[in-house]
Structure 1
Amino acid sequence: MSLLRRPRWWAVLLTLAGVLLFLRLGAWQLHRADEKEALLRRYAAAEQGPVREFAAVGETPPADAFPRVRVAGEFLPGRTYLLDNPKHDQRGGVEVYAPFRPDGKERLLLVDLGFLPGNGTDQSPQLPPLPEGRKELTGFYQPAPGVGFEMGGDALARQAHWPKTTVYLDLDQVSKDLGTSLYPRVLALEPDASSIYVREHTPDFSAMPPARHRAYAFQWFTFAAVAVVMFLFLHRKRKATSGDAQ
């Protein structure tokens, strides 16, 4: 004999939709945790990896690694871009990027010089001049910062003076602004104690570390289990009492 009353169709549909939604959200949180852990492992492996020649990976970088590379060439004088949304300094500041021409190449490489802390005001920090002449750089060849929803279109095209400021670093927009093609990744220079720039290139997941994603996944899976338990509880058959029989 069944222990449940026959449920209404809308109750089944509502419960099923809720359970599927909660399971989907939980799975997505687990996926995000795995993605972030994989990204942290790539950065850790890059720090311990050997230095490679830029020419070997510049055009076709490995999809699952951020190699340490060495490249020689010259900076384009007076051309700098300021990314003004870094999150690792509460006083404000900018991440500074500059185009670099490798020896014998027409294509430009965008170099992440590092983070320049602010001075507690709304004004941009004072930039030191770019190094002149031929330089040899060593750093991590990694993807550019992600591009979010940018309101107002291409901010670089509306600026006539350097340095140019943006809240999203879009390599296509930078390429268009410079009038030449760019390599598909940026070169994040290695830390240098003598440099004015702060160079911390590992992603900051302090606000949402992998462990927190897994905690949220457990929460969503719990909601799915609660939805099933509530459905069974509300549709259980109640025992007939003596008053019901009369």
Structure 2
Amino acid sequence: MSRLRRPAWWSVLLTVAAALLFVRLGVWQLHRAQYKDDLLRRYAAAASAPVQGFDQVADAPPVDAYPRVRATGRYLGDRVYLLDNPRHDDRGGEEVYVPFQPRGHDRLLLVDLGFLPGNGDDRHPQRPPLPAGEVTLQGLYQPPPGHGFEMGGDALARQARWPKTTIYLDMGQVARDLGRPLYPRVLALGPDPASIYVREHTLDFGSMPPARHRAYAFQWFTFALAAVVLFLVLHRRKRPKRPSP
């Protein structure tokens, strides 16, 4: 004899629909994790890729690729932006960005000089002077760091003195602040043993790295299993009570 009661059609339909939905969401999270893993592998491989001219990718960089480029021009050394969002050092610190005027171009390129460790206090770290003449830079042409909702609006517009500090790097805000159009990506300079900047660049996935997608996938698969178990428990036949002697 079956240990399950005959279920209503709607309970079967509801259970199957819920389980399929949870499984589909779990598979989608696994696909997102795999996609971001592929991006990380491509990003790591880009560090040793052949160098190409900035003009080749300036306006239309390849999707989901990170060209290693060389650009010649001049720094706008008096226009420094400090991303006050330390990731490398317990003492704090700032990621330093400076606009760069590529030779023969009207638009500005924002250059990520690297992370400058703090001094253990609230003062800005001491930055070395930038070259005044024309220089040739080399690095990865990559998307700017992600940004979220900044309370109080545009923090750059409210600052009158340089360097300007922000907790999010919004390219639109930077372009308005400079009064000049910017290229869609930033140039993250490559490692330099002679530089005091820490240049350990990586892709910024915000709060959703691949590991978190996998954690969410496990959660959705658990929900699918729970829906089936709940269905079985609710439709289990109760054992008849034994008559008392």
Q: What TM-score do the two structures reach when normalised by structure 1?
A: 0.87
Matched residue count = 243
SS state at 1:183 partner: strand
| 1:213 Cα deviation after fit | 3.7
- Over residues 193-214 of structure 1, what are the superposed CA-to-partner deviations in whole Å (9 max), with x where a residue is unaligned? 0001000112478x97635643
- Look up the equivalent residue of 1:226 and give its one-letter code: A
Percent identity over the alignment is 69
1:109 aligned onto 2:115: no
Runs of at least 5 residues in structure 1 that lack an aligned partner in the other structure: none
Q: What TM-score do the two structures reach when normalised by structure 2?
A: 0.87
| 1:28 Cα deviation after fit | 4.5
CA distance in 1, matches of 2:106, 2:181: 8
CA distance in 1, matches of 2:126, 2:152: 27
CA distance in 1, matches of 2:53, 2:167: 31
1:60 aligned onto 2:60: yes
Q: Work out whether residues 84 and 167 of structure 1, in 8 Å CA contact, stay in contact via their aligned partners in 2.
A: yes
CA distance in 1, matches of 2:235, 2:27: 28
CA distance in 2, matches of 1:14, 1:119: 59
- Look up the equivalent residue of 2:234 and give its one-letter code: L
When structure 1 is superposed on structure 2, of 182-191 and 211-220 the one drifting more is: 211-220
Counterpart of 2:152 in structure 1 is 152
- Look up the equivalent residue of 1:82 and give its one-letter code: L
Structure 2 counterparts to residues 1-246 of structure 1, below 5 A? 4-7=4-7, 15=15, 19=19, 22-23=22-23, 25-203=25-203, 210-211=210-211, 213-240=213-240, 243=243
CA distance in 1, matches of 2:173, 2:209: 31
**CA 1:7–1:87: 2 relative to 1, 3 Å:** farther
CA distance in 1, matches of 2:191, 2:12: 58
| 1:23 Cα deviation after fit | 3.2
- Over residues 10-64 of structure 1, what are the superposed CA-to-partner deviations in whole Å (9 max), with x where a residue is unaligned? 9668756764664355234313312320221121221121000000100110012
- Over residues 107-138 of structure 1, what are the superposed CA-to-partner deviations in whole Å (9 max), with x where a residue is unaligned? 10000000001111122212222221000000
Runs of at least 5 residues in structure 2 that lack an aligned partner in the other structure: none
- Look up the equivalent residue of 1:163 and give its one-letter code: P
